[in-house]
A = this chain, B = another copy of it.
Amino acid sequence: MSKDDNVGFIVKNTKTGEVINVVLTDETVVTGRLMPGYEYGKKDHIVIKLNNGYNIGIKIERIKSIHLISSTNLENKTSSYKNVKYVNGNNHFSNTIRLTDSDQPKILLLSTGGTIASKIDYRTGGVTSVLSAQDLYSSVPEISDYAKIDTEILINEYSENIGPNEWNLIINKIVEKINLGMYHGIIISHGTDTMSYTASALSFVLQNIPIPVILVGAQRSSDRPSSDASSNLIGAVICASRLDYSGVFVVMHSGMSDDVVACHIGTRVRKNHTSKRDAFRSIDVSPVATIKKNQIYLNHEVVSNIILKKRSVEYEKGKVKYQIFGSRFDNRVFLLKYYPGFNPMLIEYVVSQGNKIVIIEGTGLGHINKNCISYLKKAIDLGVLVFMTSQCIWGRTNMNVYDTGRDLLKIGVIPLSNMLSETAVVKAMWLLANESNYTSIIKIMQENISNEIIPISHIL
């Protein structure tokens, strides 16, 4: 009997949601509710939800038989979880034991929506955002090899709909959960489209957090054979539970091979491909670490050259009350991507509408057509702050090289080195909401707070 037949055999006797007794080959009995993991997860596992709320994955080859107990309510049944014997070895069945291992790190998986939490809607043919963090966990039972995982749905949005309001919701939830003192790391599942903007927002507000906060997503929905949901999530769990450093990171598939994921600095990562699994790239710096075959490989040169804090060992419930660095965002910030033929009258409008900061994504080292200069000067004279980034993406601004740059500097345009324009917009929104003094905003915009400016260009 082939593996698929085997799965068919096991599952044909029961339905998702039913409470079952699973008798294993060593006579252990596990009781729980059959989860939908089977439908879109690994074909060699079933996933059942235990009475205590945890899910476990059970390898098909360890199952002797399945018996239906109830098609409705698990809560009144006695879980046979305690009867499960310790199984030594590297197979996934050992998960069932590790759940009681009090040394295992505890992770919170917070769901916000996106492809990692989506599947194909077979009615419309499109992908819709439907899976909860709980479902996600069910579809990748291997994650319980690495940590005990609590799940919570915060919002359910495609990331193009996530902005300053949602950043605040996410931040408030993270702070609330950090201050419980019980988690070794927090994972945010998030759509990939604006993941880097959210990662920047979290990076500025959540400075000096005691644990890692990992954003994770998928370029392909978890019910597609080529999905990166599973490997990305496993990588995120490994980083959240074992990375030595705290801070905000993005964990996504890396280009090197199928099973390598990269851990990027939250302020220096960019989605650089619409559909490839290895779309995310660290810009002007290498990832902090790569995760391969469940091992974390730190990039020591990067780690030693950027602002990174060790994970706090003092961190215990009640001991550290984590303070945040201003959680609001003021969106009176305009990002202007310059292009030839651009009509500079727009600058006047943007100012008239009450915008306080303009980020110019200029050309090359930080340039814009000379016909914009008088408009920018007028804006600056009215108190608007104008900063310069580059549409080149890689490399830093340098406005001292050419006449145009020097003319822009003279009227008060402020270059932002190699800060990504996406990061600059978020940093500006954060400062505008939390600093009333414009001199401070100008100063802090140019300072390196969360690795948004990489001082040494050779960390590649």
A404 B271 Cβ-Cβ under 8 A: no
Pick from B160, B198, B397, B418: contact of A369, CB under 8 Å: B160
Within the complex, the shortest CB–CB distance from A2 to chain B, in Å, comes to: 32
Whether B340 and A162, one on each chain, are in contact in the complex, defined by CB atoms closer than 8 angstroms, is yes
Q: Is the CB of A367 within 8 A of B272?
A: no
Whether A390 and B274, one on each chain, are in contact in the complex, defined by CB atoms closer than 8 angstroms, is yes
Complex-state Cα separation, A198 to B339, whole angstroms? 11
Interface residue? A164 (CB, 8 A): yes
Q: A154 CA to B426 CA in the complex, in Å?
A: 42
Which parts of A24-76 form the interface with B (CB within 8 Å)?
Answer: none
A341 close to B164 (CB less than 8 A): yes
In contact, B158 and A279 (Cβ under 8 angstroms): no
In the complex, chain A residues 395-446 whose Cβ is within 8 Å of any chain B Cβ: 395-398, 400-406, 418, 422, 425-426, 429
A364-B160, A364-B192 known; A275-B395 Cβ under 8 A: yes
Is A337 a contact partner of B335 (Cβ separation < 8 A)?
yes
Cβ–Cβ < 8 Å partners of A338 in chain B: 160
Within 8 Å by CB of A158, from B331, B366, B400, B403, lies B403
Are B161 and A370 in contact, CB atoms less than 8 angstroms apart?
A: yes
- Contacting B at CB under 8 A, from A379-395, are 390, 392-395
Q: In the complex, are the beta carbons of A275 and B398 less than 8 A apart?
A: yes
A254 within 8 A of B: no
Cα A276 to Cα B284 in complex, Å, equals: 12
Q: Which of B275, B392, B405 contacts A279 (CB 8 A)?
A: B392
- In the complex, chain B residues whose CB is within 8 Å of the CB of A329: 341
Asked if B394 and A274 sit within 8 Å, CB to CB, the answer is yes
Find chain B residues with CB under 8 A from A369 CB: 160-161, 163
- Measured between beta carbons, the chain B residues less than 8 angstroms from A346 are 334, 349-350, 353
Known: A367-B160, A369-B163. A429 touches B197 (CB 8 A): no
Residues of B within 8 Å of A394, CB to CB, are 272-274, 276, 279
Among B193, B371, B405, the residue within 8 A (CB) of A367 is B193
Q: Please determine whether A331 and B349 come into contact, CB atoms closer than 8 angstroms.
A: no
Q: Determine whether A169 belongs to the interface, using a CB cutoff of 8 Å to chain B.
A: no
What chain B residues lie within 8 Å of A225 (beta carbons)?
none
Query: A392's contact among B271, B395, B398, B403, by CB below 8 Å, is which?
Result: B271
> Is there contact, CB below 8 Å, between B340 and A333?
no
Cβ-closest chain B residue relative to A390: B274
- The answer to whether A425 and B339 have CB atoms under 8 Å apart is yes
Asked if A96 lies at the interface with its beta carbon under 8 angstroms from chain B, I say no
A274 touches B337 (CB 8 A): no
Give Cα distance in the complex from A362 to B191, angstroms.
14
State A436–B311 Cα separation when bound (angstroms): 63
Interface contact A158-B126, CB-CB below 8 Å: no
Q: Return the chain B residue nearest A275 by Cβ.
A: B395
Alpha-carbon distance between A159 and B338 when the two chains are bound, in angstroms: 13
Q: Known contacts being A126-B400, A369-B163, A404-B160, is A271 close to B364, with CB within 8 Å?
A: yes
Report the bound CA distance from A393 to B163 in whole Å: 21
The CA of A331 and the CA of B367, in the complex, are separated in Å by 19
Which positions 117-144 of chain A face chain B at CB distance < 8 Å? 124-129
A260: chain B residues within 8 A (beta carbon): none
A228: Cβ under 8 A from any B Cβ: no
- At the interface, yes or no: A365 with Cβ under 8 Å from chain B? yes
Question: Smallest CB–CB gap between A177 and chain B, Å?
Answer: 23
**Complex Cα–Cα for A159 and B370 (A):** 11
Write the chain B residue with the least CB distance to A162: B340
Task: Known pairs A128-B402, A159-B364, A163-B340; list 8 more (Cβ under 8 Å).
Answer: A126-B400, A160-B404, A164-B341, A197-B339, A271-B363, A271-B392, A339-B425, A346-B350
Selected A-B contacts with CB under 8 Å, 5 pairs: A126-B400, A274-B395, A274-B398, A329-B341, A341-B429
Give 8 closest A-B pairs by Cβ, nearest first: A274-B395, A331-B341, A193-B363, A160-B367, A193-B364, A163-B340, A337-B337, A273-B395
